[in-house]
With several copies, the nearest count.
Chain A
Amino acid sequence: MNDKRVLNAARAVADITDGSSIMVGGFGEAGSPIELIHALIDQGATDLTVISNNAGSGEVGLAALLKARRVSKVICSFPKSINSTVFPELYEEGFTELELVPQGTLAERIRAGGAGVPAFYTPTAVGTLLAEGKEIREFNGRRYLLEMGLTADFSLIKGHEADSHGNVIYNKTARNFAPIMAMAANTTIVQARKVVEPGVIDPEVVITPGIFVDRVVEVSDPAHESQLIAAGVTYQ
């Protein structure tokens, strides 16, 4: 039967291997799947490539994964945040490599990866440092860059509610990268506040159809980065 429920976060991330590429949903703390990330820290996989808009705050969630020296490369648009000291240190040390991608190009590359489009042209970043080494081509008198679709081995995302078929709805601006990351990974793992039976979520309001999701785990009271940081939590 088509039941994608997994008992807990530890089991959901158990098969992530060293060297994996992992998309992590979230824009700042909104939509960051902290419990899945913490389970990944416990699990021990290392030499990871993380694709995420930011590089974490404080020493919880994504920043804690970085701090544990598990991430050899970050692909993101904005690695600096208030309270972000972990990534800068690892970057300066040369431990963690950075591929900086404009935010819209990052989103479109992920969406393309999920949609079977290997490459596309975009006007973003033409004539800038971030165009270096990239093919430029003119269409209708304007110059565009060739950008490649992006896929990953795993996506870790945070939903609001999910059903056992893997259909997901989100909460407000916590949606951000999650729907496209769900499309672009070989294995997509969703944590949701509530996991319900099929038929509970109206098919008209599903944002991520179940075909894009492999595992669903209920995390009924997820933490927020800012609250953990304010409480002085560091995860290790």
Chain B
Amino acid sequence: MTQYTDISGWSREQMAQRLAQDIPDGAYVNLGIGIPELVTRFVPEGREFIYHTENGLLGMGPSPAEGDGDPELINAGKRHVTANDGAAFFHHADSFAMIRGGHLDLSVLGAMQVAQDGDLANWSTGKPNAIPAVGGAMDLVAGVKQVFVITQHCTKSGEPKLVESCTFPLTGQNVVDRIYSDLAVIDVTPEGFRVVELCPGVDFKTVQELTGAPLLPANQ
């Protein structure tokens, strides 16, 4: 059986670039912490995405130059950011009204596990001694129109992250629409996982072997 570590799939940047292709012009987007943040580097020409950060800013701009940061202008990951022309500040209840009320077009999140019915686990290992922390993830998956997951296809130890059903505590049920991994782009459909696109040089059989649930091919 193929070892995950032997495969040369998309880089994190390539995954983010591939995902960015699927975001329409003018979309209101919330990006989770980590790989999702890379999306801002790959906005296709002629398009403009408006970034929402749940701590109260719409129209978030890039990081400021080193040393220019304002500790009162940060994103949800608590990093210094800037505000673009046309930005707006608002309080937390208004910010989550945008999320819960279905006003955001897209939430891009990392994952620990995604199940074939779209269940997502990305907030807790469920270990008894872990200090639980959930932030806004449950609100995002419950409220935003589309949820894209961007993640390595397997864990560092080679365990599939795409599974029949999640063993970690859920962030939300039936919430993921599409997964961008280093090996493939995969839709969550009523029939289960369906491959949309394979990373060049990676074949369907390999991806299936590294996935914990049945995959449907793209052209079926």
Q: Tell me, yes or no, whether A and B come into direct contact in the complex with CB atoms closer than 8 A.
A: yes
**Chain A residues in the interface with B (C-beta under 8 A):** 1-2, 27-31, 53, 77-82, 87-88, 91-92, 98, 100-108, 110-111, 113-117, 122-130, 163-165, 167, 170-180, 183, 197-199, 203-204, 206-207, 209-212, 224-227
Instruction: Take A103-B136, A128-B171, A176-B55 as given contacts and tell me if A108 and B93 are in contact as well, using a CB distance cutoff of 8 Å.
Output: yes
| Size of interface on B: residues with Cβ below 8 Å to A | 62
Q: A residues within 8 A CB of B143?
A: 104, 116, 123-124
**Contact: A127 with B172, CB < 8 Å?**
yes
**Contact: A27 with B71, CB < 8 Å?**
no
Q: Is B23 on the interface with A (CB-CB < 8 A)?
A: no
**Contact: A102 with B138, CB < 8 Å?**
yes
**Contact: A163 with B25, CB < 8 Å?**
no
Could you say which of B28, B97, B137 has the most chain A C-beta atoms within 10 Å of its C-beta? B97
Contacts A27-B74, A116-B97 supplied; 12 other A-B pairs, CB < 8 Å: A29-B71, A103-B136, A108-B100, A128-B169, A175-B91, A176-B55, A179-B91, A183-B103, A197-B85, A203-B57, A203-B59, A203-B89
Q: Is B86 on the interface with A (CB-CB < 8 A)?
A: yes
Q: B residues within 8 A CB of A126?
A: 142, 172-173
Q: Is B133 on the interface with A (CB-CB < 8 A)?
A: yes
**Contact: A180 with B138, CB < 8 Å?**
no
CA distance A100 to B84 in the complex (A): 33
**Contact: A1 with B134, CB < 8 Å?**
no
CA distance A2 to B131 in the complex (A): 41
Q: Which of B57-103 contact A (CB under 8 A)?
A: 57-59, 70-75, 78, 83-103
**Contact: B88 with A209, CB < 8 Å?**
yes
Shortest C-beta distance, A178 to chain B (Å), equals 7
**Contact: B88 with A167, CB < 8 Å?**
yes
CA distance A165 to B78 in the complex (A): 26
CA distance A98 to B133 in the complex (A): 10
Q: Is B197 on the interface with A (CB-CB < 8 A)?
A: no
Could you say which of A102, A113, A170 has the most chain B C-beta atoms within 10 Å of its C-beta? A102
Q: Is B52 on the interface with A (CB-CB < 8 A)?
A: yes
B32-65 vs A, Cβ < 8 Å mask (1 yes, 0 no): 0000000000000010101011111111000000
CA distance A80 to B92 in the complex (A): 19
Q: Is B139 on the interface with A (CB-CB < 8 A)?
A: yes
B1-40 vs A, Cβ < 8 Å mask (1 yes, 0 no): 0000000000000000000000001101000000000000
Contact of A173 among B46, B56, B101, B170 (CB under 8 A): B56
Contact of B92 among A78, A180, A203 (CB under 8 A): A180
Residue of B nearest to A110 (CB): B93
Instruction: Take A129-B169, A210-B88, A211-B58 as given contacts and tell me if A173 and B72 are in contact as well, using a CB distance cutoff of 8 Å.
Output: yes
**Contact: A198 with B85, CB < 8 Å?**
yes
CA distance A89 to B171 in the complex (A): 26
**Contact: B72 with A102, CB < 8 Å?**
no
**Contact: B73 with A172, CB < 8 Å?**
yes
Residue of B nearest to A87 (CB): B131
Shortest C-beta distance, A113 to chain B (Å), equals 8
**Contact: B55 with A115, CB < 8 Å?**
no
**Contact: A130 with B138, CB < 8 Å?**
yes
**Contact: A1 with B25, CB < 8 Å?**
yes
CA distance A234 to B54 in the complex (A): 30
B101-128 vs A, Cβ < 8 Å mask (1 yes, 0 no): 1111000000000000001000010000
Shortest C-beta distance, A114 to chain B (Å), equals 5
CA distance A209 to B84 in the complex (A): 13
Q: B residues within 8 A CB of A53?
A: 92
B127-166 vs A, Cβ < 8 Å mask (1 yes, 0 no): 0010111111111001100000000000000000000000
**Contact: A78 with B133, CB < 8 Å?**
yes
CA distance A206 to B51 in the complex (A): 16
CA distance A124 to B141 in the complex (A): 8
Residue of A nearest to B139 (CB): A104
Contact of A103 among B52, B134, B173 (CB under 8 A): B134
Q: B residues within 8 A CB of A122?
A: 100, 142
